[in-house]
Amino acid sequence: MEFAAELRAVCKVYASGRQPQGAVTAVTDLDLSIRQGEFFTLLGPSGCGKTTTLRMIAGFESPSSGELLIQGQSMNAVPPNKRPVNTVFQNYALFPHLTVMQNVAFGLEVARVPRAERDRRAAEALELVRLPDLGDRKPAQLSGGQQQRVALARALVNRPALLLLDEPLGALDLKLRKEMQVELKSLQRRVGITFVYVTHDQEEALTMSDRIAVMNHGRLLQMGDPVSIYEQPATCFVADFIGETNFLQAVVLAADGTQVRLRAAGCELLVPQSGQQLSGGQAVTVALRPEKLALQSSPGTKGGGLTGFVQELVFIGTDTRYVVRLETGEMVTVRVQNAGQGSSNSWRSGDPVQVHWEQQCARILTA
């Protein structure tokens, strides 16, 4: 059994309102294969369909069409309580009238696990999330971070085939969130359970995931490991949503198997092929990550860069962000690391500069 879960051409349409055109499509033609034991993240802005997808896997929503398999079994007709998955809810959804221990043991009790084993496993789960002494408390007596751990323990204790996490860190403050990210990842390694994680935070996704699926408007845009998603975004949306990107409008002049020659911002540029079919005269977009760009006082010695003026600069500690206004009026952001002491390579507003990059760092996007 290779995949923990598979979605095949899954669509979800909500009939809303009285008129037929009021129907809302939440997910369109989604194909996902989630591997056994991986940390899989569904990433996208709010309303992109990621939570709907998660709820379909959990069984709270049923697909309008398409097929959903968990461990090779079709799940379309299986209610949530019969599925080998458990969920960590966004607001934790801890039962307020039960103690922490009773919360954690809930699933085992339902499954009629014998008392002794139930207690032992619940205690283990609490230990796993580092809350061994709080079993007798009520959820209302815990801090947000503690409630979050209880929710995690309550789901993990059942040893599900898949653990679904719906923005579980959303309610925590930044520092705690960072800590929990690391902890969740190491926890996932230890227990070896497949995690399906929903978030809108790209940094969180990059930090924790083995693979990421980027969604927007109910569609899957790109799926891959964090490095390939970051370095080889498939669309402008992905490039823009994950990290920061400069976009330049360009026209293809000539293309061969390895390189494309194009015209952007009034200059001719050479950019590596990234697999698309390109022909002369085609309009494309060139994506450039700010941290891969370098500045040089102009007129410089090296050729091939874009020329412009420093319009604005912002010092942000680790590096300085320069916004450069090109001759065509387009803006390019450049991040220059604060490697040296002082201002050995600093420019001021209004200085003429040239923007450079290594050829393979630019990427052509057609969508």
Partner 1 sequence: MQRRDVLSPGFLYFVMLTLFLYAPIVVLVVFSFNDSRTLVFPLRGFTLRWYGELAGARELLAAVVNSVVLGLMSSVVATGLGTAAAIGIARHNFPGRRFFLAVSAMPMVIPYVVLGVALLILFSWWGVPLSLWTVGVAHVVINVPYAMLIVASRLAGFDKNLEEAAMDLGETYWGTLRRITLPICAPAMLSAFLSSFTTSFDEFAVSFFLIGTEATLPVYLYSQLRFPSRLPLVVALASIIMVVSILLVTLAEWLRNSTLHLSRQGSA
Name the residues that contact partner 1, by CB under 8 A.
58-60, 79-82, 85-87, 89-91, 93-97, 106-107, 110-111, 140, 154-155, 158
- Beta strands of 73-143 (E only): which ranges? 73-74, 85-88
Non-local (6+) Cβ contacts of 75 within 8 A are 57, 59, 68, 69, 83
The residue with tokens 């991040």 is: 335
Question: Cβ 216 to partner 1, closest distance in Å?
Answer: 25
From 165, 265, 264, select the one nearest 209 (Cα to Cα). 165
CB-count exposure of residue 63 (10 Å: 0-12, 13-18, 19+): buried
Q: Which is nearer to partner 1, 123 or 171 (CB)?
A: 171
CB-based contact 9:66 (threshold 8 Å): yes
Q: Which is nearer to partner 1, 18 or 175 (CB)?
A: 18
Q: Which is nearer to partner 1, 85 or 221 (CB)?
A: 85
DSSP string across 297-360 = ESS-SS-S-EEEEEEEEEE-SSEEEEEEEETTS-EEEEEEE--SSSSTT---TT-EEEEE--GG
Question: Cβ 270 to partner 1, closest distance in Å?
Answer: 54
Question: Cβ 125 to partner 1, closest distance in Å?
Answer: 12
Question: Cβ 20 to partner 1, closest distance in Å?
Answer: 15
Question: Cβ 117 to partner 1, closest distance in Å?
Answer: 16
**Structure tokens given for 95:** 């039962």
Q: Which is nearer to partner 1, 136 or 225 (CB)?
A: 136
**Structure tokens given for 54:** 């998660």
Q: Which is nearer to partner 1, 79 or 266 (CB)?
A: 79
Sign (positive or negative) of CA dihedral 339, 345, 347, 353? negative
Question: Cβ 108 to partner 1, closest distance in Å?
Answer: 9
CB-based contact 184:178 (threshold 8 Å): no
Q: Which is nearer to partner 1, 58 or 293 (CB)?
A: 58
From 107, 111, 102, select the one nearest 88 (Cα to Cα). 107
Q: Which is nearer to partner 1, 112 or 302 (CB)?
A: 112
Question: Cβ 180 to partner 1, closest distance in Å?
Answer: 19
Question: Cβ 331 to partner 1, closest distance in Å?
Answer: 44
CB-based contact 129:209 (threshold 8 Å): no
**Structure tokens given for 106:** 């809930």
Q: Which is nearer to partner 1, 134 or 236 (CB)?
A: 134
